[in-house]
Structure 1
Amino acid sequence: MNARPLPDLVIVSGMSGSGKSGVLHALEDLGYYCVDNLPAQLLPEFVRRMRDNDAAPTRIAVGIDARNFGDLSDVPIALSEVGALGANPRLLFLEARDEVLLRRYADTRRRHPLSHLGLALADAISLDRQALRPLRQIADVLIDTSEMNVHQMRRSVLTEFGLVGAGLSLLFQSFAYRHGVPGDADFVFDTRVLPNPHWDARLRPLSGRDDDVRAYLDAQPEVDLYVTQVQAFLDGWLPKLRSETRSYVTTCFGCTGGRHRSVYLAERLARHCRATGWEEVAVHHRELE
């Protein structure tokens, strides 16, 4: 088998809470094979295996951040080895101001990945920034997401890498009403009228992305009617918004906990829009990510 070069390799790094997961999801939507939290020391071997496999994808994105095992100062060496293999690695680094990161963690109630060290959140952010300094210094693209919403961040990244042109970008977002309606919502649909998987003990720990929850909701006649009506609304009005000077449209689905019905609807409507020809479609689950 002849080795073949990898034409496109994106390394996604940056501060925890700056939006790395959203970027990886956006790249995955565009056909990239995405791997998150790959140990940097394994990067050359990973690329070598991709290069030597004719069936392997030709566009790859790898997430590397402070969760990485080993010294991040070794990453430049790993990237040099990757370049020698025929790949074209580009390092994207996302950052945000400390006060913004503090607010994001407070809003989402997520734990910082360095909190297991027993640090206060502010100290964990400071250590994260220090550990990632070697990657920031060699970044090909540096994006500050402090003032960006999910839409703007996605568009900035994809435009920076020449992956999309002008057009309307769609975001389908799930949320919990008890934590408030997203401030950037254009359309909001209340899914609390639908049967709730939460009351099934078997489904409660799952989310709307899991097969069992999808099967449960797929089988509900009310859900099918709801989806049909929302699809008709979006199919009728989204093309009209595209004809105006709009760059983003955010469609939000809310339920009580933001885990089951809203997640299911956001995923299902995103799939519908991709199937009907929309190219820039992202999904964000506020209470899960």
Structure 2
Amino acid sequence: MRFLIVTGLSGAGKTQVLHFLEDMGYYCVDNMPPSLLSKFAEICYKSQGKINKVALGIDIRGREMFSEIFTELSSLKNYGYDYEILFMDASDEVLVKRYKESRRLHPLIRDDGRIIDGILAERQMLKELKERANHVIDTSDLLVRQLKDRIYSLFAEGVKESTITINIISFGFKFGIPMDSDLVFDVRFLPNPYYVEELKYLTGYDSKVRDYVLKFPQTHEFMTKLVDLINFLLPHYIEEGKNQLVISIGCTGGKHRSATIAIKLYEALKKSGYRVIISHRDIDKREA
């Protein structure tokens, strides 16, 4: 089990890191009271494998409770619970700039206080915790994409960074294009099984329909070009930090051609090792 405590200076990127870890399959809890740390660890370690990757965000928002963290860390060690500490840091100048841009108050100052005073006080409070950290990341000069790369390199545990989720949706143009589409492909140029009497009332779920659609040369050429295009795009989407891609494939009614092409694309991307989800939005809709 991997038990990770994410802490550090306010404004240094803890929340963003927890989002990345959540996308990687970690069970994440932000702003956990330090006094609950050992109890929560016990629950996780006794979950019999139901929880095997945990990331907890702990910081000075807990104010007076924060001092309990060292007692809790000692308890974790005494109980034999392994843990790691990731400390997020940034320069004073960068933190001041981020607070000014967000127009938020530092958690250690009041309305009439100076941001820099809160940062300096927090840095002093966290000094010992930083010294105990297994990993320290300074985000002063990091882009979001670069921070993501660092987190994946440290905590992905062999899972390639392409944890982008690909949603493939087949649909009928007569019912409208899915509103969350990133890419839309129109396959109405392919021969339509609807006009073949024995296939009319079947769908792309049926092998007879798929065999019919796939027997044409233009279908094979289109599939080759489509898979090549998607495989070209995916690494670039991942590099830019995109974690979900919705590919919509449409025909007239969403029952035959689009469903067939969606299934073939799903199989191709699955084979390449991507996380893929397929749905057929209109396949069971009745004709108007």
Would you say same fold, with TM above 0.5? yes
* Mapped partners of 1:129, 1:139: distance in 2: 14
Trace 1:31-180 onto structure 2 (pairs within 5 A).
Answer: 31-54=25-48, 56-70=50-64, 72=66, 74-116=68-110, 118-164=112-158
Where does the alignment leave 5 or more consecutive residues of structure 1 unmatched? 1-6, 172-220, 252-268, 280-289
Deviation (angstroms), 1:241: 4.2
Match of 1:270 in 2: 244
Give how far 1:54 is off.
3.8
Equivalent residue letter for 2:29: V
Say if 1:126 and 1:243 are closer, same or farther in 2 by CA, change over 3 A: closer
Work out whether residues 180 and 246 of structure 2, in 8 Å CA contact, stay in contact via their aligned partners in 1.
Answer: no
Unaligned runs of 5+ in 2: 166-174, 186-225, 248-265, 276-288
Match of 1:184 in 2: none
Aligned residue for 2:183?
A: 231
- Report how far residue 167 of structure 1 moved: 5.1
Equivalent-residue separation in structure 1 for 2:244 and 2:238 (angstroms)? 17
Is the 2:109–2:118 contact (alpha carbons within 8 Å) kept by the matching residues of 1? Answer: yes
Partner Cα separation in structure 2 for residue 278 and residue 16 of structure 1: 35
The structure with the largest alpha-carbon Rg is 2
Please state how far the C-alpha of 1:72 moved relative to its aligned partner.
4.2
Q: Which deviates more, 42-51 or 127-136?
A: 42-51
Preserved contact between residue 72 and residue 131 of structure 1 (Cα < 8 Å): no
1:240 is matched with: 232
Q: Distance in 1 between matches of 2:130 and 2:47?
A: 31
Hey, what's the Cα distance between the residues in 2 that align with 1:90 and 1:38?
Answer: 16
Count of residues in Structure 1 that have an aligned counterpart in Structure 2:
203
Q: 1:136 to 1:117 in 2, by over 3 A?
A: farther
Q: Which runs of 4+ in 1 moved over 4 A?
A: 71-74, 164-171, 233-238, 241-244, 275-279
CA deviation after TM superposition for structure 1 residue 75, in Å: 2.6
Aligned-residue RMSD, C-alpha: 3.4
Q: Within 1, Cα distance between the matches of 2:62 and 2:235?
A: 45
The alpha-carbon distance between structure 1 residues 126 and 166, as it changes in their structure 2 partners (threshold 3 A), is same
CA offsets, 1:125-150, max 9 Å, x none?
11121111121110000110111111
Instruction: Please state how far the C-alpha of 1:85 moved relative to its aligned partner.
Output: 2.7
**Aligned partner of 1:11: which letter?**
I
Cross-structure match for 2:240: 249
Q: In structure 2, what is the Cα distance between the partners aligned to 1:238 and 1:116?
A: 51
Report percent identity of matched pairs. Answer: 32
Change in Cα spacing, 1:225 to 1:31, as seen in structure 2 (3 Å) is closer
Does structure 2 retain, via aligned residues, the 8 Å contact 1:9–1:61? yes
Q: Secondary structure at the match of 2:28?
A: strand
CA pair 162-54 structure 1, distance change in 2 beyond 3 A: closer
Q: State the shift of 1:97 in Å.
A: 0.7
- Cα deviation for residue 156 of structure 1 reads 0.4
Q: What is the rounded CA distance, in whole Å, between the counterparts of 1:117 and 1:136 in structure 2? A: 28
Deviation of the 1:271 alpha carbon = 6.6
Q: TM-score, normalised by structure 1?
A: 0.59
Distance 1:243 1:161, change over 3 A: closer
- Cα distance 1:272–1:225, how it changes in 2: closer, same or farther (>3 A)? closer
TM-score (norm 2): 0.59
